[in-house]
Amino acid sequence: MRVLVTGGAGFIGGGIVERLAARGDRVVVLDSLTAHEKAPDLPDPVELIVGDLNDEDAVRNATEGVDAVCHQAARVGLGVDFDDVTGYVADNDLGTATLLRALWRRSFAGRLVVASSMVVYGEGRYRCPEHGDVRAEPRRRADLDAGRFDPRCPHCGTALAWATVTEEAPLDPRNVYAATKVHTEHLAFLYGRESGARVCALRYHNVYGPRMPRDTPYAGVASIFRSALESGGVPRVFEDGAQTRDFVHVHDVARANVLALDSDWTGACNVASGEPHTVGDMARALAAAFPGAPEPVVTGEYRLGDVRHVVASPDLAAAAIGFRAETAFADGMRAFASDPLR
């Protein structure tokens, strides 16, 4: 099978490429390499085409003769502020559109797997003791300034308890990156309906592991904490540290992509560990892997675009593509303390 992996030199894409090449697939990587100081090591005989998704010549060459596409290239993270909006839309929305147009012009009707994110849900699923499942409103700056971080019931004002999010949850993007991921899904599924291609969107939860970017405004929180510890500093945990996430190892995410490529299932599914932990848990687990490191500091700071709790149900991915995460949180964090980053 000839497979195009966009962003195949990156954090998640690199792991996908290794798995595909190891089993004998012919892999083409399209990557701008802007996040790399030097050319990455790609397995032989992977073909590398250097260019971004808005380089129409590069995209046209990369899509030639492919049987399947694994679309990982994107600008990720919350960014700095709304001034990033044009960069995110150019890279994620227009870039995806350019890729899909090139596939359309080649009459591509094969397998298309796209990287999405848990951020499409906005706040996760919440329950009120009196009113049952309720939709959490965006958190107000006044509440956050006062240290009231948990969403409250819009009917009675009671603090809400989180519950696991299933794929049927309404999409509610609450930052620019999230909005572009919703649009990526919508464009991909529209392409599937028009072309007959079988499309699967994988909604990644908080991915960590080797090759993770470090020391940029777009890096994940695990990488930011790791960098602080390596420099002798202290991880600074925002809010009260009790915000809950699902941390899933990059090796599991790469395996989920290969399973999705091999499956005919169409739709969107969560890619998560099924093992929720707080951000404070993660900071403490990393600090424990650095002998003599100080305890993380809970600062009470916040970012307005952040959400409080997002915990996924992994059940659909298990049923649809046969994916269950294998890396336990404690083992993954222990290894991440010394994993190579970029």
**pLDDT class for 168, splitting at 50, 70, 90?**
very high
Which of the following is catalytic: 88, 126, 177, 208? 177
**pLDDT class for 174, splitting at 50, 70, 90?**
confident
Residue-wise pLDDT tens digits, 207-216: 999 999 876 6
Residue 234 has pLDDT above 90, yes or no: yes
Give the per-residue pLDDT at 48. Answer: 96
Give the per-residue pLDDT at 127. Answer: 95
Most confident of 76-85, 231-240, 302-311: 231-240
Percentage of the chain beyond pLDDT 70 is: 97
Give the per-residue pLDDT at 237. Answer: 97
**Cα 12 to Cα 81, 189, 235, 286, distances in angstroms:** 24, 22, 24, 21
Residue-wise pLDDT tens digits, 246-262: 999 999 999 999 999 99
Residue-wise pLDDT tens digits, 16-67: 999 999 999 999 999 999 877 666 789 989 999 999 999 999 999 999 999 9
Q: Which two tokens stand for residue 332?
A: 């993954």
Q: Which two tokens stand for residue 186?
A: 């919508």
Helices 279-288 & 329-336, crossing angle to 10 degrees? 50
pTM: 0.94
Give the per-residue pLDDT at 37. Answer: 66
**Catalytic annotation present for 218:** no
Residue 155 has pLDDT above 90, yes or no: yes
Residue-wise pLDDT tens digits, 188-206: 999 999 999 999 999 999 9
Who wins on pLDDT, 220 or 310?
310
Give the per-residue pLDDT at 219. Answer: 58
Give the per-residue pLDDT at 142. Answer: 94
Residue 76 has pLDDT above 90, yes or no: no
Say which range, 76-85, 107-116, 295-304, has the weakest mean pLDDT.
76-85
